[in-house]
A and B are shown apart, each in its own frame.
Chain A
Amino acid sequence: MLRHVAAFTAALLLASSLQAADRIKVGLLSTLSGAGAGLGVDIRDGFNLAVKQLNGQLGGLPAEVIIADDQQSPDVARQMADKFLKKDKVDFMTGIVFSNIMLAVGPTVFENQTFYISANAGPSQYAGEQCNPYFFNVAWQNDNLHEAVGKYVQDKGFRKLVIVTPNYPGGKDAVAGFRRYYKGMVAEEIYTRLGQLDYAAELAQVRAIKPDALFFFLPGGMGINFVKQFVATGLSRDTQLFAPGFSADEDVIKAVGPAMMGMFNSSHWAHDMDNPENRRFVADFQKEYGRLPSLYASQGYDAARLMDAAVRDVQGKVEDKAALRKALEAKRFKSVRGEFRFNSNHYPIQNYYLRVIGKDASGRVTNKSMGTIFTNHSDAYVGQCRMK
């Protein structure tokens, strides 16, 4: 389609070429249309909420957040990033949902010496050999949530398992992460087409195998359809469903409904976590947008708060890259997930929790925290990182 360019704010009209030291410009590039739109919208809303709570400022300077849609396409993302870096001359970039897009955009951002604060995508490349001083991740390394599920499935003694994931690098990483901790039998690894919406053929295969557990990683709309169709086949009676938190968060629950009850998933955050920052975030998010926040929203929120703390630390002198980097590494804000700090590869060291979908006190179907799977967990790639 004619989707080369899709800019979202009139601010793009201002072809300002002057570096404004009196405000902080953030380029938020995210997936805001198509099947993955729900994820990007939550990141954006979480980020905007944080800026709003800070009275439209980041680190005491007026914030200008320029938003663009990458349409989940690496080419479009490259173009929009180019615009941010060369036309708008932003101070920070953030927002990308998908790792393949991150990898396409990363090189130009780093070459331009602009700090990228990832609110979702955590590719293994940037955690390991290609780690970069300009890349920070406030969410997780891609494998982490899969590792956590793998650990839990292993500990619970499930022994006959089917894995379903799309046939693309992210899917293969998920399987690798899961199997790093799950040592039981995998009866079948089913790879589907990326963007596939009908899983009838795959579910028939699953029925023939009769596994006691099924682990799937199908981000966005794919997961919604899969769970719906899984329930419709009646497989849920014999097979326990497991997924990383992204496939069992508020967006999916809203779409599928009570059929998801009893599904286990892993996350580094949950909306019922009891700390003052999180209580305020969840309450304000619901007031502002009329829905429960997802983990994506919490990550967008934390990205903004990390920028805020760092800019305040360097007293607005964002041109001093070395000082800004130090300030980012120091992470002087309280995250809604509780404790976390940056590892030497700029990825988090943090806890991962088990969640289960059920009804809360008010009868709403949502996630409940069930306990800790990993404590102070880092990633498998940090050893390969030689941070300059």
Chain B
Amino acid sequence: MTKTDNKALFRDTGAEEGPRAPRESRLREFWRLLRRNRLAFSGLAIFVFFFFVAFSGLVLTSGTRPVFDPAIVRLQEKLRPPLSEPNLANLLPKEIPTLGVYLFGTDDLGRDVFARMLQGAWVSLTVGFVAVGIAVLIGIGMGGISGYFGRNPVRVDHILLAFIVSLGGGLLIGGAFFAGGVLLLIGSTYILFSLWRKKWSGKQSAQKLLRLLHKDTISIDTLIMRIVDIMLCFPVFFLILTVVALLPASMYNIMIVIGLTSWMGTTRFVRAELLSLREQDFVTAAKALGVSDWRIIFRHMIPNAMAPVLVSATIGIASAILIEAGLSFLGFGVPPPHATWGNILSDGKRFIFDAPWLTFIPGFAILIVVLAFNLFGEGLRDILNPKLRERY
């Protein structure tokens, strides 16, 4: 069977799935419903606006000669209130703010808060997106495996293999190169060995040892759900805090840690969706036509399970921004020179009596953006879930 055939098949199955209207109209329907939900619509508007600000922030504040330079220190101009005019007498030409006024005031080092907020918008957005991206990828992967291959058992040799390889890797990292190397070698030999066996002697071996090794233990589904359970046992913020506090501070660590600790919800959604989808006719049909498992999962099932993932991702971005702000408050946020709204806020709070704008501008900015993401996510949930829709 060739690739073109597959595509044709997909189109067929797509049509078979339901005698619904074509795609364009789905999008239009989505748009119509969104317009009706005013909260969600305004959420989307702010969402889009925020994107725009973040992108323009990236463009305008980076490079060697940025339009708005968030790094210029003007100590003599510290803590100027918003909309105040710069004191031109004691500034060098390149230190004069681009707009001619300090739109959002200056901070305790005389840096332009407007420029910093612009820069921070991009960084905050990146933190949110990358963290959620990691979470969604892991979630879809784990959920997909669990929902589709869930019934396949895990054999004893799989467990042993995983154990040997991870122990070997750990030893290698830990510095015991010889022992680690040997273990890794054993692991890879076994993988090659079993591949070879599968290829050349399909017959079941009668050897006792091999039978023991091939004994089934638990199903993949159980395994993954237990991993989810383990992860859920950790208090999330505490775990993030521990890891971030112990690791060297960097923006990437924060994104990765937030991502690695928030994939469990997605996994469960995807699994549940897949469990119900795999019983449906179009999957059975695809299987009968010999379409490969991965193709079925990624081309046919995941797109259908995306709705809840999209909703939880939107809300996840909001909470990632909040978590970053919380970490900043405790001094473990994204380290300078990157400005994020979280660390502008937590740096500014020291001056809440002297310069309230340093607290209120980023505070309300975070509030509005997070609120917009949440409202939009909520609206999305209502729109994408036909069951709920009927009720209105």
The yes or no verdict on A and B being binding partners is: no
Interface residues of B, Cβ cutoff 8 Å to A: none
Interface residues of A, Cβ cutoff 8 Å to B: none
